[in-house]
Amino acid sequence: MSRKEKDRAAERPEDMPREVQEAETLLPEGTPEETATEDECGAPEAADFHALIADLEERNRELASALAAARADFFNYRKRIERDRQRERVMAGEEKAMEFLPVLDNLDRALAAEGAADGRSILQGVTMVRRQFLSVLESMGVERIPTVGMPFSPEIHEAVAAEETDDPEKNGIITGEIQPGYRSGERVLRPAKVKVASCAQQVTE
């Protein structure tokens, strides 16, 4: 059907072929551009924006609530750990105190025998108590820091006096112990106070 025939048929629909008339009755009114909605063109409606914002706000509230719960759990966990550590320290101190009680008992016996024993017996008793005391310290991992004859080390020794020597090989060697020191493993509980040999070498020109 030519263009002119179509124009004439549009002016007189009764002259149009029957097939064309039936086809036009099946088409929706208006052009495809006119029948397309704003949503089909990709522009979302305002209701969709509001729904999206509401969903994001709800998600934000859920995340904030979860974060607050996680912080509270961590705070309670930290308090529980600190409480358990404090309890362990108290129990450890009680156990070690139990080990020192026999030492105290022997010391009391030595002091109680002052009137019935001579000085030598008392000295022997106190020596035994001291040996027992050191034994308890060793069971706790505490040992005495070696001093006399050892090279001076500022990490475990504290020099409180100097002793002059003419022997260069003895320079820096500990010659006396003023107060014993103790350590537990690599940790120094108390440095040993010592006297150190010092060689004053004279410079000759």
What are the chain's domains? 44-140 (3.90.20.20), 143-205 (2.30.22.10)
Kindly give the confidence (pLDDT) of every residue in the chain, 205 residues in length, as a single tens digit, with 9 standing for 90 and above. Answer: 555 555 555 555 555 555 555 555 544 554 444 444 445 555 557 778 888 888 899 999 999 999 999 999 999 999 999 999 988 888 887 888 888 888 888 888 777 765 556 677 778 888 888 888 888 888 888 999 999 999 999 999 999 999 998 888 889 999 999 999 999 988 999 999 999 999 876 444 4
Question: Is residue 174 classed as helix, strand or coil in its secondary structure?
Answer: strand
Asked if 187 and 143 count as a contact pair (C-beta separation under 8 A), the reply is: no
Q: Which of 174, 176, 169 is nearest to 154 (CA)?
A: 174
Taking the model in full, what pTM does it have?
A: 0.52
Which of these, 200, 140, 152, lies nearest to 178 by C-alpha position? 152
Give me 149's structure tokens: 């004859």
C-alpha span between 107 and 136 (Å, rounded): 14
User: Burial letters for 148-165: b for 16+ Cβ neighbours within 10 Å, e otherwise?
Assistant: eeeebeeebbebeeeeeb
What is the C-alpha to C-alpha distance for residues 186 and 141, in angstroms, rounded to an integer? 11
In contact, 194 and 163? CB cutoff 8 Å: no
Q: Cα(193)–Cα(180) distance, rounded to whole angstroms?
A: 7
